[in-house]
């Protein structure tokens, strides 16, 4: 029964990685940018929700909505101020360095505002624990909510990208930005919408992550953000189903690594598996190798 329990925990953790990875994969798939500040937006969303509940006395629902709105606006502002001027840069290295700079900026602003001490996250999701097999297996409510949220978000994003007009505009920008602009697509608005959606998902991921592991610091989003990027690459960056599958597989590998090998080398195991997968399938599990014709 312990195997099933570890599998359940791995799927729950992997679902959080998958939600974060969906933001990574959308931004890269459409704007061809690696937003390494994405993990810190998770932290910002969690702090906004915690502050709204504990300091402002708002209800959990209103606090979560406020956190999503703040992160959405923050994502759009970051894109406009930090990334848009570099969109035509001769090297992607400038964007990468800027993303790292924005990440450190958010972390240090959080240190100034909230301090370095760890905060206990409040209980926001009150779903009863599910007990199975005469009490031998318990599934926490947050685990159920996290897995369901991941599935709903993945299906919603897939429908949005494939069936709606803004989604088709995203596909056009991802295929050929200049041609899409000539056909009347507002490239700036489309990329801003992508950042908005990804940052809103980061707020939801921050809520789920801190509800499952109720400790919050200015560095809370750093490692989950890196692992979610690994999950996006693992599944095939640019693929929405790939981000979900990659995130869940990564979570399962991490939990099993902690349980059966060593908690100290669990992170190393995750990155070692990524290296092996990319050696065998460089585009990721769901990625496609696109050959450019000259």
What digits encode the pLDDT tens for the residues 19-35?
Answer: 999 888 888 878 777 78
Whether the pLDDT of residue 293 is over 80: the answer is no
Q: Which tens digits make up the pLDDT trace of 83-129?
A: 888 877 767 788 888 989 999 999 999 999 999 899 999 888 888 88
Q: Is the pLDDT of residue 294 over 50?
A: no
Q: With 90 as the cut, is the pLDDT of residue 270 above it? A: no
The Cα–Cα gap between 225 and 197 comes to: 16
Per-residue pLDDT tens for 199-225?
999 999 999 999 888 889 999 988 888
Q: What is the residue-averaged pLDDT of the chain?
A: 87
Average pLDDT for 124-143 = 82
Residue 50 has pLDDT above 90, yes or no: yes
Tell me whether strands 130-132 and 137-139 are parallel, antiparallel or unpaired.
antiparallel
What integer pLDDT is reported at residue 36 of this predicted model?
A: 83
Query: What is the CB neighbour count within 10 angstroms for residue 222?
Result: 18
Proportion of the chain above pLDDT 70, given as a percent: 97
Dist CA 115 CA 112 (whole Å): 6
| 8 Å CB contact between 71 and 79 | no
**Opening angle at CA 172, ends 167 and 178, nearest 5:** 140
The pLDDT-based confidence of 1 (bands split at 50, 70, 90) is low
Structure tokens at 24: 């990574």
pLDDT recorded at residue 291: 54
Predicted pLDDT of residue 262: 82
**154-188 pLDDT per residue, tens:** 999 989 988 999 989 988 988 888 888 888 889 88
């Amino acid at each position: 029964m312990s195997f099933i329990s570890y599998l359940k925990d791995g799927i729950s953790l992997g679902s959080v990685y998958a939600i974060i990875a969906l933001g990574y994969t959308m931004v890269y798939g459409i704007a061809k940018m690696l937003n390494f500040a994405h993990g810190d937006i998770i932290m910002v969303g969690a702090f906004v929700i915690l502050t709204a509940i504990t300091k402002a006395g708002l209800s959990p629902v209103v606090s979560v909505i406020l956190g999503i709105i703040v992160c959405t606006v923050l994502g759009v502002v970051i894109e406009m101020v930090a990334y848009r001027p570099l969109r035509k840069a001769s090297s992607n290295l400038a964007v990468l360095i800027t993303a790292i700079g924005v990440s450190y900026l958010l972390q240090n602003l959080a240190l100034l505002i909230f301090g370095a001490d760890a905060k206990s996250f409040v209980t926001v999701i009150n779903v009863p624990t599910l007990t199975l097999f005469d009490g031998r297996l318990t599934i926490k409510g947050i685990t159920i909510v996290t897995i369901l949220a991941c599935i709903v978000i993945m299906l919603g994003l897939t429908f949005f990208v494939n069936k709606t007009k803004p989604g088709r505009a995203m596909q056009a920008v991802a295929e050929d930005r200049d041609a899409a602009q000539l056909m009347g697509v507002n490239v700036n608005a489309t990329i801003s919408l992508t950042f908005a959606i990804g940052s809103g998902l980061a707020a939801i991921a921050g809520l789920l992550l801190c509800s499952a592991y109720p400790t919050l610091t200015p560095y809370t989003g750093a490692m989950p953000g890196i692992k979610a990027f690994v999950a996006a690459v693992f599944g095939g960056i640019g693929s929405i189903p790939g981000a979900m599958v990659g995130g869940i597989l990564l979570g399962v590998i991490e939990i099993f690594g902690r349980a059966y090998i060593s908690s100290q080398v669990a992170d190393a195991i995750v990155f070692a598996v990524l290296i092996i997968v990319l050696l065998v399938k460089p585009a990721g599990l769901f990625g496609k190798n696109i050959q450019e014709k000259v």
